[in-house]
Structure 1
Amino acid sequence: MASNAGYAEQADERARGDLTWDVERARADELHLFPVEPCRVLDVGAGTGKDAAWLAGLGHTVTAVEPTDELRAHGARLYPDAGLTWIEAGLPELAGVTGEYDFVLLSAVWMHLDAVERAHGMGRLAELLAPGGRAFMTLRHGPVPAGRRMFDVSGDETAALAAEHGLRTVVNSTGHPDYTDRPGVSWTRVVLGRPAGAGAAG
C-alpha cells in the first residue's frame, strides 16, 4: 500500500472541508512554532494547499509538495492567486525538490512512512533544511482510517533518527488533542533544527 493510499478517493471531500477550515484557529497552540519573518518554506504533503496558502499569505515564499494528483488539482483551483510553487513528489525521495528551506512543514505526514522510508526521508529532510532552519511535524496516534496506511511513530524515535542526520530536537511534545475531536486520536509535535553553519549529515 502506498504512503498516500486513500487520499485520491477522498480528495473531493477533503477539498470541501478545507474551504471551511480556519488554519489559525486549528493551529492556535502551535503558532509560536512557525516562522514570523518571511522565509523559504517547504510544505511536504501539502494536500489541497490550505496551510501553504496561509503561509504564503503571511509573506513566506512557499513550495507545496504533494504526490496525489487530485489534491494538487484542488489546490490549484482553490488558491490560484496564492503564489504557490507546486511540485508533484512524495516522501521519502522528494524527487525534483531542490534547494534549501528555512522552514519545512510535515503536517500529518510522517506516520504514513514505514521504518525504511523514514530513515531515507530524514536524510532528505536534512539535505533540504538550510543552516539554522527548522522542520515542524505532527505525528498522529490512534485508530487508522479504512483504506489508509499509518504507523505508530513516536516523537522519541523521530528525535533519535534526526540526530543520526545532524539535526537537533527543539520540541518533542505528545498528548495533544485532535483538532476535530476524533475519538481515540491524539498528536505529537516535533520540531527539528539544523544547526547554523553546520552541513547536513549523511
Structure 2
Amino acid sequence: MARQYEGLEFADVHRDVLHLFPGGASRILDVGAGSGRDAAALARAGHRVVAAEPTDELRALGERLHASPHIEWVADALPDLPALPSTSDFDLILLSAVWMHLDEHERRSAMKRLAVLLAPGGHIVLTLRHGPVPSGRRMFDVSAEETIADANAAGLRLVHRGFRQDVLGRPELRWSSLGFTC
C-alpha cells in the first residue's frame, strides 16, 4: 500500500484543493501521514510539518524515506490527537484518505478537535472515500453532507467541495474533497 501511495505525485493527488494550501512558509498538520509523501512535498515547499501517524511501521518508513528537519513525526491518532498541544495554530490541516477510518462518533469528536487546532483563516482539507469496503478493513461510508454538518457544528464553514475518480485507477472508487475554514 505504501508503495502505491509513494508512486503518486503530490500535485496530482491534491490538484483540486491546492488553491487552499498556504503559499508562504506555514505550519501544517498532516493527520494520518502514512509513509510521508504529502509531508515531504509540503516540507520541500518550505513548510514546517507535523506528521501524525498512529501506525508504527508506516511512521518508521516515513521517517526513513523522508528525513527532513522540517518534518516532526509524532505517534498520534484521531479523534483526540493527544500528543498535540490542547490548542495550536496550524495554517493547514490535511487529512488525505483518513476520515473513512473513523466511526460516526469519532468523526464528530475529531472535527471539534481539528477546529481547535486550526489557526484563524487556516484551512482543513480532507478527502472522503466512496466505494466498497475491502474485507477485513475498518472503514465506514461517510457522506459529504454529514461531514459538512459536523464541520458547521464545530464552527467551520465550507469553502470547497469537489468530486473525482480514484487516482490509482480503481473504477469502483470515487473521492470527495472538502475544504473548511474558521
**In the TM superposition, what are the counterparts of 1:1-40 in structure 2 within 5 Å?**
13-14=1-2, 16-40=3-27
Query: Matches of 1:113 and 1:57 in 2, distance apart?
Result: 30
Contact 1:41 1:63 in 2 (8 A): yes
Q: State the shift of 1:20 in Å.
A: 2.9
**In the TM superposition, what are the counterparts of 1:64-79 in structure 2 within 5 Å?**
64-79=51-66
**In the TM superposition, what are the counterparts of 1:160-171 in structure 2 within 5 Å?**
160-171=149-160
Contact 2:43 2:68 in 1 (8 A): no
Match status 1:46 vs 2:17: no
Pick aligned residue for 1:132 from 107, 121, 126: 121
Q: State the shift of 1:18 in Å.
A: 4.1
Q: State the shift of 1:37 in Å.
A: 1.7
Specify every segment of 5 or more residues in structure 1 that has no aligned partner in the other structure, as ranges: 1-12, 195-202
Query: Aligned residue for 2:170?
Result: 182
Contact 2:6 2:35 in 1 (8 A): no
Match status 1:146 vs 2:135: yes
Aligned residue for 1:133, secondary structure, equals strand
Residue 93 of structure 1 aligns to which amino acid in structure 2?
D
Query: When the two structures are aligned, how many residues end up with a matched partner?
Result: 180
Q: State the shift of 1:147 in Å.
A: 2.4
Match status 1:91 vs 2:66: no
Q: State the shift of 1:29 in Å.
A: 3.3
Report the identity percentage: 50
Query: Matches of 1:172 and 1:28 in 2, distance apart?
Result: 13
Specify every segment of 5 or more residues in structure 2 that has no aligned partner in the other structure, as ranges: none
What is the RMSD of the two structures over their aligned residues, measured on CA atoms?
Answer: 1.4
Aligned residue for 1:188, secondary structure, equals strand
